[in-house]
Amino acid sequence: MTWNWKNILLITTDVLLGVYLVLAMTAFNKPDETEYICNNIRINIAQDPNERFLNERDITQLLRNSGLTLLAQPMSLINTRQIEEILQKHDLIDDAQCYKAINGSLCININQRIPVVRIMSNNGEDYYVDDNCEIIRHNNYACNLIVATGNISKQYASKKLAPMAMQIRHDKFWKNQVVQLNVLDDGSVELIPRVGEHVAYIGQPTEVVNKLDRLRKFYRYGLNAAGWNRYSRINVEFDNQIICTRRKLRN
């Protein structure tokens, strides 16, 4: 077989030229981010607005306080990784993702930590516990949470109170009814209700769903008939019984 080197050379040249043209056109058509100026910051917080403790203004202010100027800056000068690292240092931010859009928008997606109970312990500690049972330091967040008082260690708050607070939080009735948890020296818990001048004692924070169910039924069938202020203390610690302490009549 005789090789026609001239033809091979021509074919090779044509192939290389074709590859070059494809690469050149691709590079030519690829948007250069230096051409774009950041004209918009789009912030998306994953949580339902009713569950948020941060809003878009908080995120913008946090970035501004960190010395970052983003609007009107060339996109090539904006470091998305730096933005993510700044945001993830915030107590209430679990995760942050930042990317650039082709139209000059800077997009920031936030997953927020959700506090479920505020701890105000007898030892002077004041902090939150989130829905992952992790501690969040107190920093004057504007939030409407159950407050837990009494003899509370951080371990007890994470292991016992946070799960109980989440059970209350996920029930619409109890979320509206319970305003405070008070922990006694033996680790048992009292509930302070929004409606009714009584204390509901549940004992140790175990079988909480069952205890709250019994208390709810007593509210419906007992207090609605007897009066919500008739008793000063309602004990649902033990199965199959509810012990009530009648309020002393004032002279």
Sign of CA dihedral 59, 61, 67, 72: positive
- Structure tokens belonging to residue 71: 């609007």
Q: In one letter, which amino acid is 32?
A: D
> For residue range 195-227, what is the model confidence (pLDDT) as tens digits?
888 999 999 999 999 999 999 999 988 887 777
Give the pLDDT confidence score for residue 251 in this predicted structure.
52
Query: Residue 140: its pLDDT value, please?
Result: 66
What's the CA gap between 41 and 30, in Å, rounded? 23
- What domains are defined for the chain? 34-112 (3.10.20.310), 115-246 (3.40.50.11690)
In contact, 91 and 137? CB cutoff 8 Å: yes
pLDDT reported for residue 226: 76
pLDDT of residue 55: 86
At residue 12, the pLDDT reads 60
- Sequence-separated (6 or more) residues with CB below 8 Å from residue 224: none
d(CA 181, CA 94): 26
Please state the φ and ψ torsions of residue 159, each to the nearest 5 degrees: -85, -30
Predicted confidence at residue 30, as pLDDT, reads: 45
Instruction: Give the pLDDT score at 54.
Output: 83
Q: Phi and psi (nearest 5°) for 169?
A: -60, -35
How far apart are alpha carbons 220 and 215 in whole angstroms? Answer: 9
Q: What are phi and psi of 171, to 5 degrees?
A: -110, 120
Take residue 138 and report the two structure tokens written for it.
């107190």
Q: What parts of the chain have a pLDDT lower than 50?
A: 1-2, 24-31, 33
* Mean pLDDT, the chain, integer: 84
Output the pLDDT for position 121. Answer: 95
Backbone angles phi, psi at 100, to 5 degrees: -100, 135
How far lies 43's CA from each of 95, 108, 248, in Å? 13, 5, 56
Burial of 105 (0-12, 13-18, 19+ CB in 10 A): middle
pTM listed for this prediction: 0.72
- Number of continuous H segments (helices) and E segments (strands) in the chain: 8, 12
pLDDT of residue 83: 95
According to the model, what pLDDT value does residue 113 have?
87
Q: Which of 134, 78, 72 is nearest to 108 (CA)?
A: 78
